[in-house]
Amino acid sequence: MKATHILETVLYCEDLAAAKYFYANLLGLELFRETEHYLGFRLPRSLLLIFNPQVSRRKDLPRPPHGTESNTHIAFSATQKEIQQWRAHLKGHNIRIEESREGTSLYVRDPAGNLVEFNQPTDWGIEWNSTEERFE
Amino acid sequence: MKATHILETVLYCEDLAAAKYFYANLLGLELFRETEHYLGFRLPRSLLLIFNPQVSRRKDLPRPPHGTESNTHIAFSATQKEIQQWRAHLKGHNIRIEESREGTSLYVRDPAGNLVEFNQPTDWGIEWNSTEERFE
């Protein structure tokens, strides 16, 4: 058997209001679900879920417990031109650029300290054609 | 600005050999990069990276540090029929089924204790048509 698609990518942040500002307002993701336990963002082909780990770790909930401290990692696709735009955009909102490797990738931290990267799929040897249809 | 695609979904596992067996052999993912620090699996539209957190946390590496204890979470897309097949497949390889909610989702643990789910996109109100072109 073969798993075919990642449906849910998950990060953890105790301060969901701060996470909402970062991912919805600064990164422009579409928030489609918001509870006191988690935020759900919908991307074209997958979901980003951000849980409050103090809740998701509890063992008295219907779903199995999960959740960890901060400092996990995620990367979003971006072209080299978009990486420059992200750099200016995020700096303009007082987000510290942790590292920018000559324009080919960009690293910042979300409010929980998770490492958020913008990177070109071509750096992984992956070809893609347009903003809308990467990985086609 | 708007982030459009998740390029890298990241999990952590100190025992990369055990992670390789679980994700490549049991889940059938395509391993395309293997170092002493991490495994890289290629899916049709994204990458799954599994880092040894004892290495990725180090501050003397070219990239910013990240890495955490186990117990994060990921979900793969599957139809209801596929979920039943995954259940039999994983049980047949002595993987404990942590929870199976009436055939609509399936939870197991990877070797690091990360919660791995198989779930239907339709449970999130997402329509998709075939195994190959989910989220089209």
Any A CB within 8 A of B48 CB: yes
For residue B50, give the chain A residue with the closest CA: A73
Beta bridge partners of B30: B42
For residue B135, the model assigns a pLDDT of 40
Say yes or no to pLDDT of A44 above 60.
Answer: yes
Angstrom distance (rounded) from CA A118 to CA B80:
34
Contacts of B115 (CB under 8 A, 6+ apart): A64, A65, A66, B71, B72, B73, B74, B98, B107, B109
Whether B133 is in a domain gets the answer no
Whether A64 is in a domain gets the answer no
Whether B129 is in a domain gets the answer no
Q: Do A66 and B114 touch (CB under 8 A)?
A: yes
Any A CB within 8 A of B80 CB: no
How far A93 CA sits from the closest chain B CA (Å)? 12
Q: How confident is the model at residue A76 (pLDDT cuts 50, 70, 90)?
A: very high
Burial A111-136 (b: 16+ CB within 10 A, else e): bbebbbbbbbbeebebebeeeeebbe
Backbone angles phi, psi at B94, to 5 degrees: 65, 30
CATH of residue A87's domain is: 3.10.180.10
Any A CB within 8 A of B29 CB: yes
CB neighbourhood size of B129 (10 A): 9
Say yes or no to pLDDT of A45 above 90.
Answer: no
For residue A134, the model assigns a pLDDT of 42
Whether B106 is in a domain gets the answer yes
For residue B69, the model assigns a pLDDT of 80
Whether B134 is in a domain gets the answer no
pLDDT in tens, B79-104: 989 999 999 999 999 999 997 766 68
Average pLDDT, stretch A2-18? 95
Q: Do A76 and B46 touch (CB under 8 A)?
A: no
Say yes or no to pLDDT of A81 above 60.
Answer: yes
Any B CB within 8 A of A44 CB: yes
Q: Do A119 and B8 touch (CB under 8 A)?
A: yes
- Residues present in chain B in total: 136
For residue B21, the model assigns a pLDDT of 98
* pLDDT averages per 10-residue partition of chain B, 136 residues: 94 97 97 95 91 93 87 93 94 91 85 95 69 42
Domain count, chain B: 1
pLDDT in tens, A87-131: 999 999 999 999 776 668 899 999 999 999 999 888 887 765 444
Q: Do A4 and B134 touch (CB under 8 A)?
A: yes
| H or E element that contains A56 | helix A53-56
Whether A48 is in a domain gets the answer yes
Average pLDDT score over chain A: 89
For residue A127, the model assigns a pLDDT of 65
- Residue span of the structural domain in which B65 resides: 8-124
Tokens (6 digits) for A83:
């990486």
B45 and A134 Cβ atoms separated by less than 8 Å: yes
Any B CB within 8 A of A55 CB: no
Whether B19 is in a domain gets the answer yes
Residue A67's SS3 state is coil
Contacts of B20 (CB under 8 A, 6+ apart): B31, B34, B39
Beta bridge partners of A106: A100, A118
Query: Which among B68, B73, B89 is the nearest to A69, CB-wise?
Result: B68
Whether B135 is in a domain gets the answer no
A98 and B64 Cβ atoms separated by less than 8 Å: yes
